[in-house]
């Protein structure tokens, strides 16, 4: 059994949905469980609607949803599954449900995130019914399965955490009999429900996580992530059009890249796969004949053929906070005092460097920045720098290759580097620069490490630019 996740661009047009059908049909003998995202662009519209829903008139609220419904209906018409498989009836019922929902919006005035999840979840709900209807029209026995009935989470709305213990028996009870009866479950990514059956979401990009969660709960042979990219690349192709596809990566390498900005995978995606040793394959929906990138625990090549640096990622729009205090000198508990403030405001820290009397760190969430600064100022001097970026080079055994550090900084002699981190991870060298220097930095590093290299067993040259727009790098 395999889990196949199709992203928003994979289900965003008639041609791409037809391609999805072909891919699923070819995987029929492997008992596929299908996870789908909302159509590309729909989540953005629903997110905006959710933020403003309480203030909108009924006409404005329904007009937005009507436009979303019309897009799904148009695709169904083009795919030939509007009437033959009850999609038009489903869509009419959904629109009626949304009209009934509107008068109740006032109840969520003090529960905005609860309302946002209710509205955000509608994109995937529409998507699984559209895809199921199309699969049935090409004689594949698809059945939409509501993720809210099988994926249980906590009540941290908009960023819910999975409850594996509660989810596992429900997933097995509902999904396994469907596979035994030769059916294809089609399930929303990104969606779950809490203990009170209230709709929750796993955060933006959470459909990938849904796929690996299901792969883990069902003990799948592998999880496949299908999108509009060829796999994991050596750099952001919007900066490096000739970026190369990586054939194989370890879980550790891919996790580092995801965390430090590579958009091909959601940062939390690989956690369930790592814990249960389930390979993850990243593939291009429009080029299914390509092998994509295989991410696994196994060492896929012997040491002499392994490339030390696999890829360059970056994470932009960050803020540096530098905390300076002589109290830190020879003191214990000072760092604990600092990080207790970030914990209080639920703000995660990406990178940290320290000196005798100072700490510099980066954050990507400035929602509580003013409160954090005010509390830090009670015992230190604080400096803040915005529009910064982390650049991260990832590859096995980097800690044991000091010549690479020399190459990195020789390439960047005229670029101001604000922070450097090496040693915390043996597969990662990270440093902080200004956002405006990202293109120059990535271009130089890619030239240094990936042009004219001899590691042909690890990489495939980019064949074209058409599918390489959002593989890695910033939003």
Q: Which residue has the tokens 């990535």?
A: 442
Are residues 92 and 214 located together in one domain of the fold? yes
For the segment 238-256, the average pLDDT, to the nearest whole number, is 90
User: pLDDT digits over 321-339, tens only?
Assistant: 999 988 776 677 888 999 9
Choice among 57-66, 389-398, 428-437 with the minimum mean pLDDT: 389-398
CATH code, domain carrying 136: 3.40.1160.10
Residue 175's domain comprises 2-227
Look at residue 194 and give its three-state secondary structure: coil
- DSSP classification of residue 261: T
Half-sphere exposure of 415 (CA within 13 A, CB side): 26
Q: Is residue 360 part of a domain?
A: yes
pLDDT confidence of residue 461: 62
Of 212, 227, 242, which residue sits at a domain end?
A: 227
pLDDT the model gives residue 356: 80
More reliable by pLDDT, 332 or 111: 111
Residues 6+ apart with CB under 8 A from 297: 250, 251, 274, 277, 279
Position 10 in a domain:
yes
Choose the weakest-confidence range: 125-139, 194-208, 421-435.
421-435
On whether both 182 and 72 belong to a single domain, the answer is: yes
Find all residues with CB under 8 Å of 223, minimum gap 6, and list them.
2, 3, 4, 5, 211, 212, 214, 215, 273, 278, 279, 280, 281
What's the rounded Cα separation, in Å, for the pair 453 and 404?
14
Asked, for residue 29, whether it belongs to a domain, the answer is yes
Domain CATH code at residue 424: 3.30.2130.10
Q: Which residues pair with 389 in a beta bridge?
A: 433
Is it the case that residue 178 has pLDDT exceeding 90? yes
Q: Is residue 301 part of a domain?
A: no
What is the reported pLDDT for 475?
35
Residue with the bigger pLDDT between 175 and 331: it is: 175
Residues 217 and 324 in one domain: no
Q: Quick one: 30 and 169 in the same domain?
A: yes
268 lies in some domain: no
Q: What is the CB-side half-sphere exposure of residue 312 using CA atoms within 13 A? A: 25
Query: Which residue, of 192, 227, 262, is where some domain finishes?
Result: 227
Which domain-ending residue is among 197, 227, 257?
A: 227
The answer to whether the CB of 185 falls within 8 A of the CB of 215 is no
Going by C-alpha positions, the residue among 205, 320, 343 that lies closest to residue 267 is: 205
The predicted-structure confidence for 269-280, as pLDDT tens digits, reads as follows 888 999 999 999
Q: Say how many CA atoms lie within 13 Å of 316 toward its Cβ.
A: 14
Give burial (CB, 10 Å; 0-12/13-18/19+) of 241. exposed
Q: What is the pLDDT of residue 416?
A: 95
- Count how many domains the chain has: 2
Give the strand pairing for 222-227 and 2-6.
parallel
Q: Which residues contact 70 (CB under 8 A, 6 or more apart)?
A: none
275 in a structural domain: no
């Amino acid at each position: 059994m395999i889990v196949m996740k199709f992203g928003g661009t994979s289900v965003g047009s008639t041609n791409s949905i037809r391609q999805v059908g072909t891919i699923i049909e070819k995987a029929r003998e492997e008992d596929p469980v299908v996870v789908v995202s909302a159509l590309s662009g729909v989540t953005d519209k629903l997110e905006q609607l959710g933020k403003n829903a309480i203030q909108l008139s009924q006409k404005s609220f329904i007009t937005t949803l009507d436009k979303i419904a019309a897009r799904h209906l148009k695709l169904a018409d083009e795919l030939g599954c509007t009437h033959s498989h009850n999609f038009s009836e489903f869509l009419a019922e959904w629109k009626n449900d949304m009209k009934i929902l509107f008068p109740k919006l006032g109840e969520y005035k003090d529960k905005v995130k609860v309302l946002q999840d209710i509205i955000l979840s509608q994109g995937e709900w529409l998507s699984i019914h559209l895809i199921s209807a199309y699969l049935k029209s090409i004689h594949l026995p698809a059945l939409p399965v509501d993720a809210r009935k099988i994926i249980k989470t906590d009540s941290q709305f908009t960023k819910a955490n999975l409850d594996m213990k509660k989810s596992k028996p429900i997933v097995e009870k509902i999904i396994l009999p469907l596979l035994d009866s030769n059916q294809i479950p089609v399930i929303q990514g990104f969606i779950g429900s809490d203990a009170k059956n209230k709709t929750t979401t796993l955060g933006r990009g959470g459909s990938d996580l849904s796929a690996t969660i299901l792969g883990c709960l069902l003990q799948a042979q592998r999880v496949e992530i299908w999108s509009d990219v060829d796999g994991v690349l050596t750099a952001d192709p919007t900066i490096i059009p000739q970026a190369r596809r990586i054939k194989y990566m370890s879980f550790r390498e891919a996790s580092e890249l995801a965390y430090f900005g590579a958009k091909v995978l959601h940062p939390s995606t690989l956690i369930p796969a790592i814990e249960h040793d389930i390979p993850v394959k990243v593939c291009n929906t429009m080029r299914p004949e390509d092998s994509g990138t295989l991410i696994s625990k196994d060492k896929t090549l012997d040491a002499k053929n392994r490339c030390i640096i696999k890829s360059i990622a970056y994470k932009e729009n960050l803020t540096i906070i530098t905390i300076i205090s002589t109290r830190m000198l020879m003191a214990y508990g000072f760092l604990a005092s600092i990080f207790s403030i970030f914990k209080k405001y639920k703000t995660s820290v990406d990178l940290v460097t320290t000196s005798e009397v100072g700490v510099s760190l980066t954050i990507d969430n400035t929602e509580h920045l003013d409160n954090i600064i005010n509390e830090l100022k009670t015992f230190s001097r604080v400096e803040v720098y915005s529009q910064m970026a982390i650049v991260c080079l990832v590859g096995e055994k980097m800690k044991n290759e000091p010549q690479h550090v020399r190459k990195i900084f020789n390439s960047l002699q005229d670029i101001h580097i604000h922070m450097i981190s090496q040693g915390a991870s043996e597969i990662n060298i990270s440093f902080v620069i200004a956002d405006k220097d990202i293109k120059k930095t990535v271009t130089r590093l890619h030239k240094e490490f990936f042009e004219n290299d001899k590691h042909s067993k690890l990489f495939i040259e980019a064949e074209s630019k058409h599918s390489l727009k959002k593989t890695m790098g910033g939003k």
